[in-house]
Amino acid sequence: MRTADPNRVTARRPPDRKARILAAAGELFCERGYHNVSVADVAAAVEITAPALYRHFRGKPDLLLHFVTGAIERISASVQDAPDVEAYLRDAASHGLERRGAATLWQREARHLPEANHEELRRSLSEIADRLGVLIRSARPELPEGDEELLAWSVLSVLGSISGHRVSLPRRRFEQLLYRLAHIAAYRQLGTPDGEAAAADRSGSESPGYEQLAVSRREDILNTAIRLFDERGFQSVSSDDIGQAAGATGPSIYKHFPGKTDLLVAAVTRGGEQRRAGTAAALGRATTPEESLTGLLRSYIEFALRHSHLIGLLIGELDQLPDKERKASRQVQRDYLALWVRILDDVAPGLDAAEAKITVCAVLTMIDNAVRTRSLGERPDLADRLTELGTGLLLGREQRE
């Protein structure tokens, strides 16, 4: 009979192993993209075997579901427990850095979940926005009907915007900036001269988006691909899917685009060109730093409103580009952010560069999310309201001066 060796040390399973696995999975999904991470990669990150990981999770989709669900549940609890909007803003700002990657995974990767799970999470987010809207209306009972919803989504976007970049500040300063930006989003006065000027300035100045032009077969295929890549993800869409949705045969697609990757490259290139053209036109009309900043803001809002599926593709699919195009696209994004920071510095000299980048990213994220939120997209005044909110965030204004 075998007896136990009293000198043998038995390795014990850490009590927080499941949490460590989830944290590692979330970090890898954010860094590399869901499709570029394997279960073995996650297991290696926590120094266990893949079979050991399967004791806790059924597979990669289960990891993604648990991570995103957990993040949304924490936000929900924070909103539900808050006695007022001020308490929520302070709590969210102080804990936001701990959940920095959650928003990226929702925006970029949650569509890879089964449709039932995705819709359930979408409903949960809507309930969070509804509850936050109630808190905002309690603090601001004079708000016109429906504005609390826009402000609630704007607050959530500002808080989640830090997920999309790696700009850093000392923790206390970061929390203070995040709170200040979220506070402006919650209390910004709407229906101000900023919005009225935006409406007047845009009158007759909008150029038609590509969907408003006479659409050739090539354009129709590209537009269809952009929509499907956004809705399902590049990896989940085949050339046959695109052809069927566009009413084109396989040979017809290959006549214009040799492969699916060529469609993605063309779409990203298209996005960069159209945004660049709008930016150039807006800055060309400006005569002061302030006009340059508001013109840049309005041009991006108009671009986002016309091309919401393209926005989704730029958010979620750059990692699927070939190496050369991916690096070029990342550089275009960095240059665009640098342009915003430079113009903002012209308007408010001496602003800390890191704080300026974080602020600009908050504005762009707010716009991106608003044009892609179903209920907000139905607002005919959305461009004007986003102009007011963006101006407030950029210049640190809550109320009409």
- pLDDT tens-digit readout, 14-44: 778 999 999 999 989 888 888 889 999 999 9
pLDDT (mean) for 110-139:
92
Distance CA(65)–CA(21), nearest Å, equals 13
pLDDT band at 131 (very low <50, low <70, confident <90, very high): very high
pLDDT (mean) for 42-51:
95
* Between residues 332 and 210, the one the model is more confident about: 332
* Between residues 213 and 142, the one the model is more confident about: 142
Q: How many CB atoms lie within 10 A of CB 97?
A: 14
Question: What local confidence, expressed as pLDDT, does residue 32 receive?
Answer: 85
- pLDDT tens-digit readout, 65-80: 999 998 899 999 999 9
Question: What local confidence, expressed as pLDDT, does residue 42 receive?
Answer: 97
Assess contact for 128 and 163: CB atoms under 8 A.
no
Separate counts of helices (H) and strands (E) for the chain: 20, 0
Directed axis angle between helix 289-306 and helix 308-316, to 10°? 90
Question: What local confidence, expressed as pLDDT, does residue 207 receive?
Answer: 43
Q: Which helix (H) or strand (E) holds 201?
A: helix 193-202
Q: Tell which residue, 293, 46, 82, has the closest CA to residue 194.
A: 293
**pLDDT over 50 (residue 56):** yes
How far are the Cα atoms of 239, 243, 251, 253 from residue 258, in angstroms, in the given order? 10, 13, 10, 8
Across 59-63, 100-104, 201-205, least confident range: 201-205
Whole-number average pLDDT of the chain: 88
Question: What is the percent of the chain with per-residue pLDDT over 70, rounded to a whole number?
Answer: 88
Question: What local confidence, expressed as pLDDT, does residue 133 receive?
Answer: 98
Q: Tell which residue, 170, 166, 266, has the closest CA to residue 226.
A: 266
Query: b vs e for 55-66, b when ≥16 Cβ sit within 10 Å of the residue's Cβ?
Result: ebbeebeebbbb
How far are the Cα atoms of 22, 86, 161, 236 from residue 172, in angstroms, in the given order? 26, 18, 18, 41
pLDDT (mean) for 286-315:
95
Assess contact for 160 and 105: CB atoms under 8 A.
no
Q: DSSP state, 209?
A: P
Which amino acid belongs to residue 303? F
Question: What local confidence, expressed as pLDDT, does residue 250 receive?
Answer: 64
Predicted TM-score (pTM) of the model is 0.86
- pLDDT tens-digit readout, 328-377: 999 999 999 999 999 999 999 888 999 999 999 999 999 999 999 989 98
Question: What local confidence, expressed as pLDDT, does residue 186 receive?
Answer: 98
Question: What local confidence, expressed as pLDDT, does residue 5 receive?
Answer: 52
* Between residues 251 and 33, the one the model is more confident about: 33
Tokens representing 154?
Answer: 């704007």
Across 115-124, 182-191, 377-386, least confident range: 115-124
pLDDT band at 113 (very low <50, low <70, confident <90, very high): confident
Question: What local confidence, expressed as pLDDT, does residue 401 receive?
Answer: 40
pLDDT (mean) for 267-291:
95
